[in-house]
Amino acid sequence: MQLSSLPDRPFELAELRELNESGRFRAVFPAGVFDFDGSDAKLVPAAVLVTPGDGSEGESSDGHESEGGNVVAVGYDFEAGWQRISSEPAGDQVQEQVELAATELRAWAAETDQRWAMSDGATALAEHVGALDE
């Protein structure tokens, strides 16, 4: 999975739903959703993507392809864009792997002081997305 194929901003929840239904991924899970008062906007700066097992998308963190696809955690950094936080071959316990990937995303957000993970995260996201639209 190439990070360059992701948008240059946090996902909108509707985009993740479309990705989930598109067949490009086995499953797509938001790892953080921010609602905005007075708006239908819901932004997702962290997600767990389960890639298909066809060999073309599957690549583990060590660069080897995985026949069963991968569980990939991605987080949005305001300065650097999307970051791959973890990637591991999908096993028999995908739900547990997704939960672990979400935990890794929370730890990454805290360790790297991601503004969207702080108490004013929704405000920071709104300001960032507004700045991108200008």
When pLDDT is averaged across residues 10-22 and rounded to a whole number, the result is: 91
* Domain assignment of residue 54, given as a range: 3-133
Task: Report pLDDT for 54.
Answer: 61
Task: Give the range among 77-86, 106-115, 116-125 with minimum mean pLDDT.
Answer: 116-125
Predicted TM-score (pTM) of this structure: 0.78
Q: What is the pLDDT of residues 48-103, one digit of tens each?
A: 999 987 654 434 444 444 557 999 999 999 889 999 999 999 998 999 999 999 99
Of 42, 45, 70, the C-alpha closest to 55 is 70
Mean residue pLDDT across the chain: 82
The sign of the CA dihedral 11, 12, 17, 23 is negative
Query: Considering its fold, how many domains does the chain have in total?
Result: 1
